[in-house]
A = this chain, B = another copy of it.
Amino acid sequence: MLDRDRNGEADVGITSRDVARLAGVSQPTVSRALRGDPRVSEDTVRRVRMAAEALNYVPSEAGRSLSTQISHRIGVLVTDLTNPFYPHLVGPLHDELERLGYRMMLFTERSEATAAAERLVDRSIDGLVLATSTLDSGLPAELSRRQLPFVYLNREGTVPADAIVVDNRRGGELVAEELVKAGHTRIGAIFGPDNTSTGRDREIGFRQGLADAGIALRPAHVRHGPFEFETGAQALAELLDTDPVPTAVFCGNDVVAIGVIDAARRLGVDIPEQLSVVGFDDIPMASWASFELSTVRHDLDEMARTAARLLVARVSGDDANLEPSGVDGNGAAGQRRVTLEPHFVARRTHCEPSQS
């Protein structure tokens, strides 16, 4: 069917055997020579290298994987790439993984049913980064049972595993403190989903912060929803429909907050004069002049890169080079838990409440 012999050089489907033949050595010697085995003589290495180059030899990843039981691939699981938040995790993750000699397989969890889980445990990846795990997900347990190493990134789950997260509770507190300090008393919130650790902890921290100041969070001023643009856009309309209206609103993350700001523009609500808005994460977009969002900053890039390093250390077995990092190691089953410190960033979407 195919006439491959047309092109001058047929360097497709070249195996280590072909290289061996050309170099006048055995196949195992080719393998050793190219992998830098010190037992191979310099002279042989040279011959093999030349032969490999001449044939444009590239070792087959499949063969290598099968033999070594290592794929050098790491899976990354997110819910929805088009959410502006995730690229800021996936981008650095990719770069760090590449730096460590691993490739990235990207998965989005439409149907995290067992069907999808199968694709993860067929040994085609060495480990998995869970970037959007929900607390009620059965996946971590399944992964654990299958002994597929994984790490929680950003959100954590109930099954013990390495994790890298922000101190979300503290972050929520920070926002509460700032809003209180500015003089707000009628405060609203658009929290993230209850089944995410980020949503839950930020809510706990925020409520705690308000409670410490003796300020009540009226149920009518509270919304919950996914960490999406639309959540903020829709929730704002609802919050404006309450009486009295809140003078400030804390949003589960920046994407939600930007949804709020955008809706405010459409509805003619002045921010921050009529409503203070605070987000969480400090994604790059938050600092755009169009938003100037006051938010809680943490090092997203570092968080993602650390996740990559934790996982790779785990799957490659050399945990050693991670010990000295300043993490609050949890001795129990050897899981590592890295917590990033959040900082409040004051921009232009919050101020004192107007005296209405």
Residue from B80, B82, B124, B265 in contact with A62 in the complex, judged by beta carbons closer than 8 Å = B124
CA distance A122 to B262 in the complex (A): 46
Q: Is there contact, CB below 8 Å, between A4 and B123?
A: no
For this complex, into which size category does the number of interface residues on chain A fall?
A: 35 or more
- Most chain-B CB neighbours within 10 Å: which of A88, A108, A258? A108
CA distance A289 to B84 in the complex (A): 16
Residue from B58, B81, B288 in contact with A121 in the complex, judged by beta carbons closer than 8 Å = B58
A interface, by DSSP: helix, strand, loop or mixed?
mixed
Complex contacts, A80 vs chain B, CB 8 Å:
91
- Most chain-B CB neighbours within 10 Å: which of A107, A147, A288? A288
CA distance A123 to B13 in the complex (A): 9
Residue from B62, B81, B94, B263 in contact with A65 in the complex, judged by beta carbons closer than 8 Å = B62
Whole-angstrom distance from the CB of A148 to the nearest CB of chain B? 9
Residue from B9, B61, B289 in contact with A145 in the complex, judged by beta carbons closer than 8 Å = B9
A24 within 8 A of B: no
Complex contacts, A291 vs chain B, CB 8 Å:
290
List residues of A whose CB falls within 8 A of some B CB. Answer: 4, 7, 9, 11-12, 56, 58-63, 65-66, 71, 73, 80-82, 84, 86-88, 90-91, 94-95, 98, 103-108, 110, 118-119, 121-124, 145-147, 229, 258, 261-263, 265-266, 284, 288-291
11 contacts between A and B (CB under 8 A): A81-B91, A82-B87, A90-B106, A95-B108, A98-B108, A103-B107, A104-B106, A105-B106, A258-B290, A262-B290, A265-B290
